[in-house]
Amino acid sequence: MTDDPSRRTIIKSGGVLAGAALLTGLPGGPAAQAAVPRAGGSSPVVDLPAGRLRGGVDGGLAVFKGVPYAAPPVGALRWRPAQPHPGWQGTRDATAFGPSAPQPYREGGDPVLGNHGAPPFDEDCLTLNVWTPAADGAKRPVMVWIHGGGFISGSGSLPNYSGETFARNGDLVVVTVNYRLGPLGYLYFGEDGAGGNFWLTDQLAALRWVRDNIAAFGGDPDQITLAGQSGGALSVAALAGARPAGRPLFKRAILQSPPLGLQIPTRAEALQRSATFLGILGVGNVAEARAVPWPQLIAATFEMFQRTGRWGYWSTPFLPVLDEATLERSPADLLLSGPGAAIDVLIGWTREEANFAFALNPTYTASTKEQVLARVRETFGGRAAEAYTAYEEARPGARPVDVLMDLIGDDLFRMPAIALAERRAARGRPVWAYQFDLPTPAHNGRLGAAHCLELPFAFDNFDKWTQAPFLAGLAPLVRDGLASTMHASWISFIRTGDPNPGPMPNWPRYERNSRTTMRLDSVTSAVDDLAGYWRRLHHSTGSR
């Protein structure tokens, strides 16, 4: 690739203020900061239909934490759709985050991400958090962030997902959401013909809360961008199919590494998976399971991994369900017709998605060619040998595990994302695509540009990721330059529905005649049909 100075990533001189300086041409730049509450001033207060909230001031922003958006899903409401919150009397304190959804937790975390959730955990977890420059009538664009975590981990209160940078640098209102995870959110029992996907009913309740209340926080309910990564990005696609009364729930969507290649279970398959879990618990039915303390449910998750895992596939012990009540079709299809067709979409993936889960796993690093060929055959059938050779030649010095990881990344993330972009482009629907290419030197470079690596770049908040081992060794100038560029483009998309203008080179829409994909690296460039060879290889075999 030619190193054209005019297409270089802008290098940030350091800190959040320099990031903000890039955005002075956007509405709500420095001139808008006069409306921001100042530290030491009076605490911000908003009046909502549910009651009065008193927030705090953090970094010059008004912040409201631990705001309930649905009734606590406990007791008889465990494994029931989210219900309206009854409200409260007087003024509710909103200066502390609510508990995160129950999830597995290990002190010290893992060698890639560290921890993706931290105590306290509690089943009463349906809260959200709001960052705003001011709780006024400014009608700012809104970003709602849905965290990922393999459907079993994460929290809207993680420092990683703080709304501070987006709110300040983009003059946006930012909302992060807690929702039910793991067995509490993803089991399916089909009781009395009822649906499942309790996690999805939570997120729908949160979006309706945003639509109905965000104006009190200085936000515009007609300018909502729903954004998420991994499982959160799959959620964004699933929510595109909502058919609400009144105004749509969101206008734009950012899907970072959506695992659209997942095979979503049918009702029968989901019932069988839930029966497996009840067997691990040692209970006979859902009524008995409602009496089991939630820590026992989380403890049973580890055995669920063993029972549901398959060699050569990303482990997902809990999955959504095509219950025909809350989710009728695959999430990707919901962005092609119905209310989802009109949504502006920005979608992308990282170059080595699967290295996140497999590169440091000794079981997989010891893989033989025969083992990997057997897995390749499940995607490519009779052309497995040809596909194996293609993947092997694409990465100099590739080991069998490298072929396996690239195949898994394509099956689960890249090829389905490209297929969605192709189908939207064929219908004339707006879509922008990116591939995040910057590798991390952590763990001797074995992770490459792994799953989740783009997150601190999009948020431009590396100071919030100090406990994440996979960021070690990144060169500060390159790191901060790419972060400023991505962050500004994300803000532009949230504000206008277009990632241009900004410090990035011109980013055309993904069209069928060009298939332009933005390559995000130390030098950022727009590349036509970036994954063309692999798209044709997968398409020619009819692989998913």
Q: Mind listing the pLDDT tens digit for each residue in 149-164? A: 999 999 999 999 999 9
- 12-26, 215-229, 395-409, 502-516: least confident range: 12-26
What proportion of the chain, given as a percentage, has pLDDT over 90?
86
36: confidence class by pLDDT, cuts 50, 70, 90:
very low
Q: What is the pLDDT of residues 239-263, one digit of tens each?
A: 999 887 777 899 999 999 999 999 9
Residue 29 clears pLDDT 70, i.e. is over it: no
**What per-residue confidence (pLDDT) applies to 194?**
72
Q: Give strand ranges (E) for 119-218.
A: 127-132, 140-146, 173-177
Place of tokens 């994302």: 417
**Residues contacting 117, CB < 8 A, separation 6+:** 100, 101, 103, 105, 149, 153, 154, 155, 158
Confidence of residue 16 (pLDDT cuts 50, 70, 90): very low
Q: Tokens 């194996």 map to which residue? A: 388
> What is the mean predicted confidence (pLDDT) over 131-146?
98
Please check the confidence at residue 228 and state whether its pLDDT lies above 90. Answer: yes
Kindly state the average pLDDT of the residues 534-541.
Answer: 83
Contact 478, 485 (CB under 8 A): no
The answer to whether the peptide bond before residue 476 is cis (omega within 30 degrees of 0) is: no
Length of the chain: 544
Does residue 18 surpass a pLDDT of 60? no
Q: Where are the alpha helices (DSSP H) in 381-531?
A: 384-394, 400-409, 415-426, 455-459, 476-496
Residue 509 · residue 518 · CB < 8 Å: no
Beta pairing, strands 516-520 & 525-528: antiparallel
Q: What is the pLDDT of residue 516?
A: 97
Among 470, 355, 346, 347, smallest CA distance to 409 is for 355
Residue 408: other Cβ atoms inside 10 A:
22
Could you tell me the pLDDT band of residue 542, with boundaries at 50, 70 and 90? low
Q: Say what the pLDDT of residue 541 is.
A: 60
C-alpha distance from residue 136 to each of 20, 41, 45, 139, 208 (Å): 21, 16, 10, 8, 20
Does the pLDDT at position 40 exceed 80?
no
The mean per-residue pLDDT over the stretch 57-69 comes to 97
What number is the average pLDDT over the span 296-311? 96
Mean pLDDT (whole number) for 183-207: 92
- Is 88's pLDDT higher than 70? yes
Q: Is the pLDDT of residue 101 over 90?
A: yes
User: At residue 189, does pLDDT exceed 90?
Assistant: yes
- Kindly write down the DSSP assignment for every residue of 345-380, as one continuous string: EEEEEETBTTHHHHTT-HHHHT--HHHHHHHHHHHH
Would the CA dihedral through 206, 211, 214, 219 be positive or negative? positive
350 forms bridges with which residues in the sheet? Answer: 436
Pick 15 or 254 by higher pLDDT: 254
Which range of 31-40, 173-182, 335-344 scores highest in mean pLDDT? It is 173-182
Token pair belonging to 312: 């050569």
E strand spans, 69-184: 91-93, 127-132, 140-146, 173-177
pLDDT above 50: residue 1: no
Of the pLDDT bands very low, low, confident and very high (cuts 50, 70, 90), residue 37 is very low
Average pLDDT rounded to a whole number, residues 484-500: 97
Question: Is pLDDT at 75 greater than 50 in this prediction?
Answer: yes
Give the CA angle between residues 374, 375, 380 to the nearest 5°.
95
Q: How confident is the model at residue 444 (pLDDT cuts 50, 70, 90)?
A: very high
H or E, element range at 304: helix 294-308
Name the pTM for this structure.
0.92
Average pLDDT, the chain: 91
Residue range 164-180: mean pLDDT, rounded? 98
Is a pLDDT exceeding 70 seen at residue 8? no
Q: Are 117 and 158 contacting, i.e. CB atoms less than 8 angstroms apart?
A: yes
Question: Is pLDDT at 103 greater than 50 in this prediction?
Answer: yes
Domain 8-541, architecture per CATH: 3-Layer(aba) Sandwich (3.40)
Range of weakest confidence among 10-19, 144-153, 374-383, 425-434? 10-19
How sure is the predictor about 41, in pLDDT bands with cuts at 50, 70 and 90?
A: low
Beta-carbon-side half-sphere exposure of residue 356 (alpha carbons within 13 Å): 26
Tell me the per-residue pLDDT of 268-289, one tens digit each, with 9 for 90 and over.
999 999 999 999 999 999 999 9
Check pLDDT > 60 for residue 115: yes
Q: How far apart are CA 209 and CA 204, in angstroms?
A: 8
Instruction: Give yes or no for a contact between 239 and 250, defined as CB atoms under 8 angstroms apart.
Output: yes
Active site (catalytic) residues: 230, 353, 451
